[in-house]
Amino acid sequence: MGCKVESQLYLTKKNTQLLVYQCLKSLCFSNEQASNISMLVNLEDCELYGMKSHDYHLFMKTLI
């Protein structure tokens, strides 16, 4: 879905975080209640803002 991991052996911590948050920004969940998770991603600060407990639960459930 647009998530490409660079083939470099060593990435700086900031670059690694940015790759993860870029992937999160492109995610779309089928469940309507977690479908707006991409709007909670701040790429400048590499943080998630305003995530509610239900959204967090669905996000973690999907990752596992």
Q: pLDDT digit string (tens) for 18-55?
A: 888 888 888 776 766 566 778 888 888 888 888 888 87
pLDDT recorded at residue 63: 74
List of residues 6+ apart from 52 with CB closer than 8 A: none
Three-class DSSP labels, 7-55:
CCCCCCHHHHHHHHHHHHHCCCCCCHHHCCHHHHEECCCCEECCCCHHH
CB neighbourhood size of 5 (10 A)? 10
The two tokens of residue 12 are 């700086």
Higher model confidence: residue 9 or residue 47? 47
Q: What angle do CA 18, 44, 53 make, to 5 degrees?
A: 80
Verdict on whether the full-model pTM lies above 0.75: no
